[in-house]
Amino acid sequence: MGVFGKLFGKGRQAMPPLDYGVLRCDVHSHFIPGIDDGAPDLEASLQLLGAMHDLGYRKVITTPHSMADGYKNPPEVILGGLEKLRRAVKEANLPMEVDAAAEYYLDHALQQKVAAQRVLTFGRDMVLFELPFVSEPAVLLSMVFEMQTQGFQPVLAHPERYTFWYADHGTMEKLKDRNVLFQLNIIALAGAYGPAAKKAAERIIDKGWYELVGSDCHGMKHIKAMEAARTEPYLHKLVESGKLLNPTL
């Protein structure tokens, strides 16, 4: 029996703490101050970025919420906040590269944003988007098609959090067949969203469906969850799979 055979059988054991430096880049966070439910001010932003640096990260692509209702955050607002944050990082002599995209909520406005090319991307035209937590949107597959038609690469944020897929992976299989990338919130493996989400994340890792991982960091409680996740066997399994694109960004 190999190492992972032992670890993932009965009596699963913790692993040595992972150095997040192997990932280099975080692709999902909320560090731009005062524009969503993440960092409330520059002081908090710098504290969080310093903590991410201590974990081993050297780059973050921060992704404020963007939705029709609530945190609207058009590109101009996000990019303006990014410039302020970059200046503060430079003044603080913090060796962290900071870029920005957005976490787009799949609502009635997203199709308009995509059609007008009014979305912020990262990597190779990647668009991070999330779903409502109540039920699967009827327009999900058509929205994926629209993104791809416009030349974007859809990236689904935290599929492990959508309870409507826990008993049936059919839609997830359809999304993977359509080359949608999946992004794991690492803190799910530390139990930040409860045991059901943790199990869902582990099942998706077993299927080999994640290509990206992110912190989804909003505050110091998420930094602590990131620290706790470092010894999780499934995080090590995912990193060692060689599937993750984070180091290439």
The gap from C-alpha 217 to its chain's centroid, in whole angstroms, comes to 9
Asked if residue 201 is part of any domain, the answer here is yes
* CATH assignment at residue 144: 3.20.20.140
pLDDT digits 0-9 by tens, 191-234? 999 999 999 999 999 999 999 999 999 999 999 999 999 999 99
pLDDT digits 0-9 by tens, 29-39? 999 999 999 99
pLDDT at site 131? 98
Task: Judge contact between 48 and 221, C-beta under 8 A.
Answer: no
In the numeric block, the tokens 């992110």 are attached to 214
Asked if residue 3 is part of any domain, the answer here is no
Reduced to 3 states, what is the DSSP secondary structure of residue 170? helix
Domain that holds residue 109: 20-248
Q: Which long-range contacts (CB under 8 A, 24 or more apart) does 8-12 make?
A: 8/233, 8/237, 12/233
Asked if residue 118 is part of any domain, the answer here is yes
Domain count, the chain: 1
Asked if residue 1 is part of any domain, the answer here is no
pLDDT digits 0-9 by tens, 83-141? 999 999 999 999 999 999 999 999 999 999 999 999 999 999 999 999 999 999 999 99
pLDDT at site 45? 98
Asked if residue 50 is part of any domain, the answer here is yes
Asked if residue 6 is part of any domain, the answer here is no
